[in-house]
Amino acid sequence: SVQNIRDVAAVCKKYHIPLNIDAARYAENAYFIKLREEEFKDQSIKEIIRAMFDCADMFTMSAKKDTVVNMGGLIGVKDANSPLILPIKARCISYEGFTTYGGLSGRDLEALAIGLYEGLDENYLRYRIGQMEYLAARLDDAGIAYQAPVGGHGVFVDAQAMFPQLPYHEFPGQVLAIELYKEAGIRSCDIGSYMLGNDPDTKEQLHAAFEFTRLAIPRRVYTQSHFDIMADALIAIKERAHEIKRGYRIVWEPPILRHFQAELVPIEE
């Protein structure tokens, strides 16, 4: 909420800490602010974004999300005389490229310049969030639990509710991801104990508070039929969920961010 951003900004101001906005989801967040925050219900997405960014000293943006482009991002610093600018500039060449293009090709920069506007179109945002709501409504009808209300970028299905028989250390969220792939070729991922990983000191598997399977929805890719396939696949899995007696165990894992690359095998009964 803008109220939350303002409260954080007040604390930062008091202690002279520059406030940076992670702007990857700025447009979808502005749309949620319009829907949910009384003060902003009659304002345009652009005006709401103005109110958000008025609170901050700088922003970093992965443009691959709300700016609807294949590649790219940017850093903005509000005050042209800010002491933040020179250290950013100094590191830019070795990490990304010259400050004017940051390693991006001209084609990507042009797409980004257009996407910064297109991503703010309220009709587009309504259609985008509407896709999540459509899938959520089908899950409601089928009695399939998910994190509610749905967010902007995807639907998080409650895999522990789907497989109450599976303990966290057999990775219910990953089991559902694998079943979705087997059922209908749908690629998703665990947001649960499998992603959380091991305690850095004891090396014990951590127990996540939730075992979700994330259906992250790319922008402007799927039609309503695709969402029906997702819902139908989840319903089919729910019907046979009790037949799944065991989950998976890890046979290889990298030391960090293991969930992107680890290798799993089914646990035999």
CA dihedral 72, 76, 80, 83 (to 10 degrees): -100
Task: Measure the CA–CA gap between 201 and 112, rounded to whole angstroms.
Answer: 43
H/E element, 115: helix 106-118
Task: Measure the CA–CA gap between 125 and 151, rounded to whole angstroms.
Answer: 12
Name which position in 64, 78, 246, 258 contacts ligand PLP (CB under 6 A).
64
Q: Which is nearer to ligand PLP, 1 or 62 (CB)?
A: 62
Name which position in 6, 13, 22, 257 contacts ligand PLP (CB under 6 A).
22
Residue 190, SS3 per DSSP: strand
Instruction: Return the residue nearest ligand PLP (CB atom).
Output: 62
Span of 21-29, 51-59, 78-86, 257-265 interacting with ligand PLP by CB under 6 A: 21-29
Q: Does 205 bind ligand PLP (CB under 6 A)?
A: no
Burial label, 103 (beta-carbon count in 10 A; 0-12, 13-18, 19+): middle
Span of 22-30, 108-116, 134-142, 143-151 interacting with ligand PLP by CB under 6 A: 22-30
H/E element, 193: helix 193-196
Binding mask 65-94 for ligand PLP (x = CB under 6 A): x-----------------------------
Name which position in 5, 9, 24, 237 contacts ligand PLP (CB under 6 A).
24
Interface residue list for ligand PLP (CB under 6 A):
22, 24-25, 62, 64-65
